[in-house]
Amino acid sequence: MRNIKMTIEYDGARYAGWQRLGDSDKTIQGKIEQILSDMTGEKLEIVGSGRTDAGTHAKGQVANFKTESKMELLAMRSHLIRYLPQDIIVKDLEEVPERFHSRYHANGKQYSYYVWNEVVPSAFERNYSFHHPKPLDIKKMKAACEKLRGEHDFIGFSALKKSKKSTVRTIQDISIEKEGGLLHFTFIGDGFLHKMVRIMMGTLLEIGTGEIPLETIDEIFESGVRSNAGMTVPSQGLFLDEVYYQ
């Protein structure tokens, strides 16, 4: 039995997210599993490093699957590129130890979020950024990023109602870069809760416009209450850049 690790890039605009759904064929996992199963003659299941929501994109999603197929990896990749939709690309395939698990063995991820910060929207950026026309105080948002860094309980920055598992995560870095009207936010951490990046982003933007004070971040950590945080920004500005493994 071979264990194959995949690195996948996709445009999530027309999909209902990563996870296979019984009543929809519009998922990334479902599309890849269908082509892999047709290719090998086996009923295969792929395991992703994590789920991405409807409309979210990926430059470096990681998944793995097990197969008895003897097909060469380059031939597998060529087949996948040929038969998958053009908005899903398997960039790399690698044979890994049998015990490798793309989700359980991941020890960090990097996400990007893009904001188009101009009064007039962009025809080209509309599927890959959030149009936010209000002026933003970058200095104040960078101060907020400092407060988000480190180890905290991020339950108040998530869509989880409650969790039996730990909601403590460590954010190693958050950075902001500006190029013309486009703002690029980068988040690097050991893990992220459901919608955590999108809620942190909404909070940063509301701090940047002065709608909520900088100290709100401390209050969210203390209370753990989602309603104290900012809006959940739309998914089209979110990209999973990379998954880290030891």
Q: 121 with 156: CB under 8 angstroms? A: no
- Eight-state DSSP code of residue 44: -
Q: How many CA atoms lie within 13 A of 76 on its CB side?
A: 23
How much is the pLDDT for 43? 94
Question: For residues 153 and 38, what is the distance between their CA atoms, to the nearest angstrom?
Answer: 44
- Eight-state DSSP code of residue 109: E
The tokens describing 34, both together, are 């269908």
Backbone angles phi, psi at 114, to 5 degrees: -115, 135
Distances (CA, A) of 83 to 13, 18, 76, 94, 236: 19, 18, 11, 19, 25
Question: For residues 79 and 195, what is the distance between their CA atoms, to the nearest angstrom?
Answer: 33
Q: 191 with 165: CB under 8 angstroms? A: no
Model pTM? Answer: 0.95
The tokens describing 155, both together, are 């339950």
**Count of CB atoms situated within 10 Å of the CB of 86:** 7
Q: pLDDT tens string for the chain (246 positions)?
A: 999 999 999 999 999 999 988 766 799 999 999 999 999 999 999 999 999 999 999 999 999 999 999 999 999 999 999 999 999 999 999 999 999 999 999 999 999 999 999 999 999 999 999 999 999 999 999 999 999 999 999 999 999 987 789 999 999 999 999 999 999 999 999 999 999 999 999 999 999 999 999 999 999 999 999 999 999 999 999 999 999 998
How much is the pLDDT for 131? 98
Query: What residues act catalytically?
Result: 53
How much is the pLDDT for 24? 67
CATH numbers and ranges of domains, the chain:
2-96 (3.30.70.580), 108-245 (3.30.70.660)
The tokens describing 173, both together, are 């870095």
Question: For residues 84 and 124, what is the distance between their CA atoms, to the nearest angstrom?
Answer: 24
Distances (CA, A) of 197 to 35, 127, 192, 234: 31, 18, 7, 11
CA dihedral sign, ordered 12, 15, 19, 25: negative
For residue 187, give the 3-state DSSP assignment.
Answer: strand
